[in-house]
Chain A
């Protein structure tokens, strides 16, 4: 299955599931960060430039800090999130699912200079598209991942109905399929929903009303009692 989930084995012998963030949310996060940095710099320049030499010194130091160290600082002390990443709900983690510390955060942010080449993150994007984990060059060297922080947006939005226990135990993929169906059922035409639900004949029986039965089973599966 084409999937952006990545599992991490822990010392406790279980596998945790991380959901990788692709190029689009990461580019948007970068754009937001860029705008924030630019805005701060413009404000600083307007306020400090009239002060003269000392003011320009502050502007240059702020520029340096914002460009090179600020993203890394955020990723270390702010749960792996720069302001842009935070607003998109993504975060940087080490490959093993632990939060990043200074060495990894600095590595990936200094190597941004290469990802940017030849222009507009060309190398970074090309690298992201040829490896499974959407890693840019900086992520490869620092061994980091960018993942969604929160559980799937919106959670499970299943229309409420009196729960119905399935006639026999279902495997996890089967349960997933039923939940996905129940989530999408309100947006389907009644005929199409019926047609799809009828595919699960052994479960819903031949008596018609397959869609509503499947939604009731979904309600059972999410634990509504």
Chain B
């Protein structure tokens, strides 16, 4: 068949398909009502698309003009994107993820989680204890200005713990989101450097938190500090560790790709890791909320705040150990 005849015979079908695509693709800058009707039902589309693909193959094989081949290629590409790029719009996906999928994924990565815990909680505990014995060591880690600010924030006379006089709760909430989630993201992303970046962020943050905790306890601000952190620590510290595990997963794919190429291993582990990050981001959000609106309150005695903290830790640990174990949960 000559090209002219070929074009003449199928131009109508291509035009219909193109019009259907114009209406279907988003975002449409023009109002869909103003576009020409395609005259094609959605049910006919897969068939029309397959025929278009056939025409493209024919046009290439018969060496029709490059112009026509390009046009058909562009149409087929658009069709491919609309047909294969469809999103599933199932309801309740977020609830399903938080109630079952996320804890399952975290349990599946328990080895990496253990390494991240060690890299993070190890320095925290070590410094918190070491500073009780060698209090002056804190000057290697925190500047005098930082120390003065900490002591202002956790002064038992401060009506709202963990904040300076000028700060408001809403502002602190925004600050915690901006700062902590960013930290989590960096912790995850730098895992791509064979896991070293993640380890660096985990250890250095562990050191800082340990230094603050150890110094304040030793300086006699213990009650106000621990009653401040007890509430949000469960969510926040676990979220950091989960980010660490996600970052280490990227690094592990590069160090030990197994039977895959490094590139394929990285793609596979990134798909799992990013889902850990969804959950971690949700935990950071909850932690920021608690940290801004509950933790600074001094109206409640420290015992109450410790109790709430203990309950939250039990809930978080129970959640990761138990949630989503039943099939179909």
Residue numbers of B with Cβ under 8 A of A are 3-4, 7, 25-27, 49-50, 53-54, 56-57, 60, 63, 65-71, 73-74, 76-77, 80-81, 84-85, 87, 167-168, 170-171, 173-175, 177-178, 181-182, 185-186, 188-190, 192-193, 197, 250, 263, 266-267, 270-271, 273-275, 277
Q: Are B81 and A98 in contact (CB under 8 A)?
A: yes
Q: Which residues of A contact B274 (CB under 8 A)?
A: 103, 106-107, 110
- Contact partner, A12, options B3, B27, B50, Cβ 8 Å: B50
- Our count of residue pairs bridging A and B at CB distance below 8 angstroms stands at 148
If A14-B76, A172-B63, A223-B7 touch, whether A114 touches B267 (CB-CB below 8 Å) is no
Closest B residue to A152 by beta carbon equals B70
30 contacts between A and B (CB under 8 A): A10-B53, A12-B53, A53-B171, A54-B170, A54-B171, A57-B175, A60-B177, A77-B26, A78-B27, A79-B26, A98-B80, A99-B81, A103-B271, A103-B275, A107-B273, A110-B188, A110-B189, A110-B274, A111-B192, A113-B190, A114-B193, A114-B197, A117-B193, A140-B266, A140-B267, A141-B250, A143-B267, A151-B74, A170-B63, A223-B7
If A106-B277, A110-B274, A175-B66 touch, whether A64 touches B178 (CB-CB below 8 Å) is yes
- Contact partner, B77, options A16, A112, A179, Cβ 8 Å: A16
Closest A residue to B267 by beta carbon equals A143
Judge whether A196 is part of the interface by a CB distance below 8 angstroms: no
Q: Residues 153-181 of chain A: 1 if any B CB is under 8 Å from the residue's CB, otherwise 0?
A: 00010000000000001111001100100
For chain A, residues 72 to 90, give those with C-beta under 8 angstroms from any C-beta of chain B: 77-79
Q: Are B85 and A54 in contact (CB under 8 A)?
A: no
Q: Which residues of B contact A170 (CB under 8 A)?
A: 63
Number of interface residues of A (CB under 8 A): 57
Cα A113 to Cα B243 in complex, Å, equals 14
The 7 closest A-B CB pairs, nearest first, are A53-B168, A57-B174, A113-B189, A60-B174, A99-B85, A141-B270, A12-B53
If A57-B171, A61-B174 touch, whether A221 touches B63 (CB-CB below 8 Å) is no
Q: Which residues of B contact A106 (CB under 8 A)?
A: 274, 277
Q: Which residues of B contact A77 (CB under 8 A)?
A: 26-27
If A18-B77, A98-B80, A113-B185 touch, whether A175 touches B65 (CB-CB below 8 Å) is yes
Cα A99 to Cα B83 in complex, Å, equals 10
Judge whether A137 is part of the interface by a CB distance below 8 angstroms: yes
Quote the shortest CB–CB distance from A153 to chain B (angstroms). Answer: 13
Q: Which residues of A contact B81 (CB under 8 A)?
A: 93, 97-99
